[in-house]
A and B are shown apart, each in its own frame.
Chain A
Amino acid sequence: MRVEVEVDGGVVKDAWISGSLFRGLEAIIKNRAPQDAFFISQRICGVCPVSHGHASSMSAEAAMGVQIPEGARLVRNILEGAQYLHSHILWFYTLAALDYVDPVKALQANIADTYALAHAAGTRVADFGAIAKRLSAFVERGQLSIFANGWFGHPEYPADMPAELHLIGVAHYLEALEMQAEAATIIAVMGGKFPHFMSSINGGTSWVPTEEKLDDVKFRLAKVNAFVREAMIPDTLAIAPFYLDALKFGGGGGNFLSFGVFDDPSFEIDNRYMPPGFSEGASLGLDTVDIDNVKEYTEHAWYSSPSGLNPKVGETVPAFTEYNTDDKYSWGKAVRYKDLPAEVGPLARMVVAYVKGDEAVQDLIDSTLAKLGAAGKPEVLVSLLGRVAARNLETAHTATLTEQFLNDLIAAVKAGPLELFTPHDITDGEGYGMWEAPRGALAHYMTVKNRKVDRYNVVTPSTWTCAPRDAAGRRGPMEEALIGTPVADIERPLNVVRVARSFDP
């Protein structure tokens, strides 16, 4: 992905996002067995393969008229939940944290004060003295490895954020490396490996839960969830007050879309644990989602295929011309809902769930807003800080849901015997799977003819987020969110990176 911004008077005035990769996965899946799509299409993304795999299997199952059994529903929900935990922890600590936490500043921390601050913030303690000592050896040696050329000491790190808080952040950054691996291990136990898992085969799951394996999953999930509750959430609340300026920019167009995720026993899209919906503009009203409202525009993308098609009938014919922001400048199509750009991802899901009246989500958001001095003003969430906070709050929510799915599965195994797979024949048909990856709304469409895939199409979260301009010249969500971002140092536009990264593109 390439971000181009126009800065005037220290503020972003215009922005263009260019998708830099064309792989043409749809063409690769065409003419293959419908079950093969699960294995191939999940490889679109090495961070959210579980969601792609699930959306693909759902599209095939819809096309064949197959209903997966209850046991498989629970297994798939747990796999999906574990991937959300993996993805969000990886994003917040490994990818984003050092945009907000400066390891060089952490060196000035007083160790006793660090413990006191950790206690006051209700966050986990670590051996802060040892970490500080080793951190200084690390920095002095100058072998910065993956930290090389980081923008530490940048003026956009808040001057008043105590060194002690920076040190806490670094300590949890290190612990998070361990925790993301633990979350991924849950997927491996239930799906063979991660990334790219094996078990959500069309018709259900190939994984048979045994007492021993369920114990293993339970232990690992408890460990990850404890980290989320004892470190990730308190860290967010402790760091956020130093970034209140980030409530004033990075918001974007204010249209939010979620397809919903985590099926309940009815398999009805409207009954999903994380609900679907489309919220347009400041009204915070809510529409049910309809796949027919999705259209892809190619005016500014390197395709010669017709513009404005629904993905069910969409075509992908690559035709590179040149990079020209007035004309075509991206491999990403401009996907629109009701012809409007829409933000997808954790903030969109939290807004939709909030407006829909999900009590757990309302409690999480209201209490957080109160702690940030913005009680009763959920609209401030439409900002850079709001987007970061929403992802972290969703992590806590997902932790609770995943525990519930696991407990349900354990109860179902005890009540046994558990159905895990629905045998079926391959027949001709058409289907789609609408789902949510950690990064946002996701849809796979499949048409089967003569027992082979005749048409396949995928609309990924990045297609929504990193969309270029559409036929009407409207910016995509990330382009829009960058407008108004303050830039103190044009050589090192840290805030621009923060806004772009907040979408987890």
Chain B
Amino acid sequence: MANEDHDALRSQLEFHGVSRRDFLKFCGSVAAILGMSESMIPQIAAAVEKGARLKPTLWLHGGICTGCTVAIAQVDTPDIATIVLDILSLKNMTINMASGDDLERIVADTLEDAENDIGFILIYEGSIMRGQGGNALREFGEPQIDRLKKKAEAAEAIVAVGSCAVDGGFVAAKPNPADAIGMKQFLDEAGIDTPLINLPTCPVNPEWIVATVINVLILGRLPEMDSFNRPSLIFGHPIHDLCPRRGHFENAQFVYEFGSKEEELGYCLYPVGCKGPQTFTNCPIVRWNRRASWCVESGAPCIGCGITSPKAGGNWVDVNAPFLKRHRDLKIGDMRIQPSTAGVIVGAAAAAALVAHGLGMKAAGRMDGEGAPYEEMKECDRKKGGGK
């Protein structure tokens, strides 16, 4: 049986043009994203080959822009990801071939499988729309939210992909006309205790989905998570600590105008509003679109789309807007500190600092949707040419 599975996997991989070498490279990148050592690679490979077919994956949609679905198609070494997801028997409602009732039947079959103990992982994309009696999003002629409960209960684990699924995302920004919320609030209010993994950013970084799902398969349990259900290995450090422009930040070499000489020199984007210091993701390491680039590399500041609010009703837009204005200093616990030192503290005790980070944000008044206070040009900035 095991051999048959191996052969099946091999033929699947070959079907998608994936060599053994590519496959091991892929396992290496999973290890890197999850912060595991290279010695884990053979174990990851064996786990993927042996165990990956155990869990069908049902990918459902709330109020979406389809961005997270498009994002998964941009994953590095896409064929391998396709395979991993094929083996997971990925059923995505947009890219699936089926239509209408046949699509509905796929969902029904998966739920039936769950009753037969095969189980499934639910990947959820988009905001949960409560507005207009749930009719802000209709599915098969009914409020979508009414149909979600049963599926959420039946799933073995839920992965909320993208900021919308995590806390409502930009859809939930003030005044939240569609009354959107994220999965955690939905589960809490409905009294459902299915384990939840939150993967914010807008859209989700596809590398994280693959790594997270494989992590669940390898270890047979959930990854280590922070207080907001985010895998600590992915969301444990501020972007600022990982940013290639950090040296310029320390040397006070800044970009004051987009598309300028300073940008060409790769200076730091803090004065034009970079939210790298308060955003906890590994974007600079994992990067985007098969590692081709990431936001700061295009000369634009991080707008903090990976920030999640520990308070119900918070979301990255209300926390970070106005995006092109620099926020005042950060608060961690009782301390008011500059971002350069924030990184060191957080690096030392990631989990504790994350909690403190959340509290600090709250204390600084950023969670009430008014947007952060921002500071005017400083004297030292002006000396460096910022006042022109």
Q: Do A and B bind each other?
A: yes
- What residues of chain A have their CB less than 8 Å away from a CB belonging to chain B? 2, 18, 20-24, 27-28, 32-33, 35-36, 39-40, 43-47, 49, 71-72, 90, 94-95, 98, 130-131, 134-135, 137-138, 141, 143, 145-151, 174, 177-178, 180-181, 184-185, 187-199, 201, 203-208, 210, 302, 318-320, 323, 331, 419-421, 423, 491-492, 497
Structural contact, A318 and B259, CB atoms closer than 8 A:
no
Q: What are some 8 contacts across the A-B interface (CB < 8 A)?
A: A23-B177, A28-B317, A39-B323, A40-B170, A130-B14, A181-B78, A181-B289, A195-B203
Choose, from B30-38, B294-302, B331-339, the stretch at the interface. B294-302
B132→A318 contact, CB < 8 A: yes
A43, B303: Cα distance in complex, Å: 13
Supply 11 further A-B pairs (C-beta < 8 A) apart from A35-B324, A181-B78, A492-B102.
A23-B136, A32-B321, A46-B71, A137-B11, A138-B15, A145-B90, A146-B97, A149-B96, A149-B102, A178-B79, A198-B298
In the assembled complex, B185 has its CB within 8 A of some CB on chain A? no
**How far in angstroms is the closest Cβ of chain A from B297?**
6
A203–B288 contact, CB under 8 A?
no
Distance of A281 Cα from B348 Cα, bound (Å): 69
Docked pose: A198 CA to B298 CA in angstroms? 7
Residues of the A chain whose Cβ atoms lie less than 8 Å from the Cβ of B268: none
Question: B95 near A20 (CB under 8 angstroms)?
Answer: no
Whether the Cβ atoms of A192 and B298 lie closer than 8 Å is yes
Q: Which residues from chain B contact A23 at a C-beta distance below 8 Å?
A: 63, 127, 129, 136, 171, 177-178, 180
Contact across chains for B102 and A206 when beta carbons are under 8 A apart: no
Is A203's CB under 8 angstroms from B289's CB?
no
Verify if B137 is at the interface (C-beta below 8 Å from A): yes
Give Cα distance in the complex from A466 to B341, angstroms.
53
Instruction: Find B137's partner among A20, A44, A138 (CB 8 Å cutoff).
Output: A20
- Residue from A27, A46, A320, A423 in contact with B257 in the complex, judged by beta carbons closer than 8 Å: A423
Q: Smallest Cβ distance from B366 to chain A, in angstroms?
A: 15
Check A94/B95 contact, CB under 8 A, given A33-B324, A177-B78, A192-B294. Answer: yes
Write the chain A residue with the least CB distance to B136.
A22
Query: Are B73 and A20 in contact, with the CB atoms below 8 A?
Result: no
Question: Which chain B residues lie closer than 8 Å to A90 at the CB level?
Answer: 70, 73
Closest chain B residue to A192, Cβ basis: B298
Output the nearest chain B residue to A75 by Cβ-Cβ distance.
B259
Q: Which residues of B contact A148 (CB under 8 A)?
A: 89, 91, 96-98, 106
Residues of A within 8 A of B73 (CB): 90, 94, 177, 180-181
Question: What 0/1 readout, one digit per residue, does chain B (65-92) give for beta carbons within 8 Å of chain A?
Answer: 1111111011000110010011101111
Q: List B contacts of A419 (CB < 8 A).
A: 259
Partner of A190, one of B264, B288, B298: B298
**A191-B298 in contact (CB<8A):** yes
The answer to whether B300 and A201 touch across the interface, beta carbons within 8 angstroms, is yes
4 smallest beta-carbon distances between A and B, as pairs = A46-B67, A24-B177, A420-B259, A134-B15
Residues 153 to 183 of chain B near chain A (Cβ within 8 Å): 170-171, 173-178, 180
Kindly provide the distance from the CB of A450 to the nearest chain B CB, expressed in whole angstroms.
14
A40 to B, closest residue via Cβ: B170
Contact A143 B299 (CB under 8 A): no
Residue of chain A at shortest CB distance from B262: A208
Within 8 A of A (CB), among B42-76: 53, 63-71, 73-74
The reply on B247 being an interface residue by CB < 8 A is no
Rounded to whole Å, the gap between the CB of B245 and the closest CB of chain A is: 13
User: Are A206 and B258 interface neighbours, CB within 8 A?
Assistant: yes
Establish whether residues B139 and A72, one from each chain, have CB atoms under 8 Å apart when the complex forms.
Answer: no
> B259 and A207: CB pair below 8 A?
yes
| Given A43-B202, A46-B66, A174 and B17 contact (CB-CB distance below 8 Å) | yes
* Minimum CB distance partner of B295 in chain A: A192
Closest approach, in angstroms, between the C-beta of A189 and any C-beta of chain B? Answer: 5
Complex CA gap A193/B295 in Å reads 6
Contact between B15 and A131 (Cβ–Cβ < 8 Å)? yes
Task: Please tell me if B292 contacts chain A, counting CB pairs below 8 Å.
Answer: yes
A206 contacts B317, C-beta separation under 8 Å: no
Chain B, 266-319, CB within 8 A of any chain A CB: 288-290, 292-300, 303, 305, 317
Assess A149 versus B293: contact at CB under 8 Å? Given A47-B70, A181-B74, A206-B259. no
What is the minimal beta-carbon distance from A241 to any residue of chain B, in angstroms?
Answer: 24
Establish whether residues B293 and A134, one from each chain, have CB atoms under 8 Å apart when the complex forms. no
A146-B95, A205-B259, A206-B300 known; A35 and B322 CB under 8 Å?
A: yes
| Given A33-B321, A36-B322, A201-B300, A420:B132 Cβ within 8 A | no
Contact A420 B74 (CB under 8 A): no
Query: Complex: how many Å from CA A323 to CA B180?
Result: 21
Q: Which residues of B contact A2 (CB under 8 A)?
A: 138, 141
**Min CB–CB distance A335 → chain B (angstroms):** 20
A residues near B92, Cβ cutoff 8 Å? 146
Nearest chain A CB to B78 CB, angstrom units? 6
Residues of B within 8 A of A318 (CB): 131-132, 136, 177
CB-based contact A188/B288 at 8 Å: yes
Residues of B within 8 A of A420 (CB): 258-259
Contact of A137 with B324 in the complex, beta carbons under 8 Å: no
Instruction: Give every chain B residue within 8 A of A331 (Cβ-Cβ).
Output: 136
B229 within 8 A of A: no
Report which residue of A2, A24, A45, A331 has the largest number of chain B beta carbons within 10 angstroms of its beta carbon: A24
Interface centre among A138, A188, A194, A421 (most CB of B within 10 A): A188
Tell yes or no: B260 within 8 A of A by CB.
Answer: yes
* Beta-carbon contact of B141 and A185 below 8 Å: no
Nearest-CB distance from A371 to chain B (Å)?
A: 29
Q: Is the CB of B288 within 8 A of A192?
A: yes
Q: Are B293 and A22 in contact (CB under 8 A)?
A: no
Chain B residues near A27: list those with CB within 8 A.
175, 177
When the two chains form their complex, are residues B78 and A28 in contact, meaning their CB atoms are under 8 A apart?
no
Task: Choose among B15, B99, B289, B324 the residue that contacts A185 (Cβ–Cβ < 8 A).
Answer: B289
Distance A143 CA – B11 CA, assembled complex (angstroms): 13
Name B101's closest neighbour in chain A (CB-CB).
Answer: A491
A208 engages B170 (CB within 8 Å): no
Assuming A43-B170, A44-B65, A149-B102, is B292 touching A199 (CB within 8 A)?
A: no
